[in-house]
Amino acid sequence: MGAKAEKYNKRGVQTSYISTVIGISLVLFMIGLVLGGSFAIDTIQIQAKESLQADLFFNPDYSEADIKQVEQELRSWEYFKEVTFVDADQAIKEITGLGQSDAEILDILDGETPIPANISFKPKAKYADLEGMEMIKAKLLESYPDELDEVFYDESSVESVNLGFKQFVYLFAVVALLLIIVAVAMINNTIRLALYSKRFTIKTMQLVGATGRFIRKPFLYQSIFQGIVSAVIGLALLMLLVYIINNLLETIEISLSLETLLILFGSVILIGIIISFVSTWFALNKYLRMKMDDLY
């Protein structure tokens, strides 16, 4: 009879442990989803900013060879993600993209090239705002006062890209904060329920003379292990979701750099350990302070 009871108790402890790990894993999966989403938004924002384009138009007497020389010089500037020389033929092709042939365009313009050779550039993300673009424009005009005729970029596009992402980031931050608060509360409750079944064991150890430190030690070690295991499971579920999205949805591709993945993995594991450890600590202190009669 005693053997059966012991076997039943062990099974109950194992079931409680597994259910706790699964519960924490699902919550950490949600936290990982929020963190991964924030990294993805940051990547998309950088790509959107670095897709903005500005054009440098030169004085008519400036030759293509001279313009190419300026292009090579600008490639060494720290402000640009990409610098491209656009010759007259390429400028014609950009216009013919509207559906007319090169010959038709030249015939309409009496054989004159509508857009002379120029240089286009795409700024780096940290300079892709109105202040940064204005600073780049001022430096270009200062460096090439006689060569440049105009520095053109669409101010409304620059402003809309920055404003649109700023509003979206604020909304995402609010939603993410609410999700994380809910997630932390769920982990805390999961651990409290797991320790609730061991409250008599904790109190018995205390009554026979065990110190609080001695009682906490195995539970806290177990909480660290639970946090790590749960984080690994949660991250595995997250990577599975990313794999499914990339392979089933052709219009969406999620790509994270190795550095971003390491930050994501480290953050989720650290969050799992901290939340599990802190929740276990406070739950243990609660049962250590309770009287025997209050445990029933």
pLDDT tens string 47-66: 888 888 998 988 888 888 88
- CATH fit for domain 52-154, picks 3.30.300.170, 3.90.209.20, 3.30.70.3040, 2.130.10.10: 3.30.70.3040
Q: CA 132 → CA 42, 52, 129, distances in Å? A: 19, 12, 5
pLDDT of residue 133: 92
Four-residue CA torsion sign, 61, 64, 66, 68: positive
**Stated pTM of the model:** 0.63
- The mean pLDDT value for 41-50 works out to 80
CB contact at 8 A, 88 and 57: no
Q: Where are the domains of the chain?
A: 2-47+162-295, 52-154
pLDDT band at 1; cut points 50, 70, 90: very low
Q: Work out the number of other CB atoms within 10 angstroms of the CB of residue 194.
A: 24
pLDDT of residue 208: 79
CA dist., res. 42 & res. 14, Å (int): 41
pLDDT tens string 191-235: 777 777 777 777 778 777 777 788 788 888 888 998 899 899 989
Partners of 55 in the β-ladder: 120, 152
Q: Which one is predicted more confidently, 185 or 294?
A: 185
pLDDT band at 16; cut points 50, 70, 90: low
CB contact at 8 A, 133 and 108: no
Q: SS3 for 57?
A: strand
Those residues with Cβ within 8 angstroms of residue 195's Cβ, 6 or more apart along the chain or in another chain:
202, 219, 280, 283, 284, 287
Is residue 27 scored above 90 in pLDDT? no
Partners of 57 in the β-ladder: 118, 150
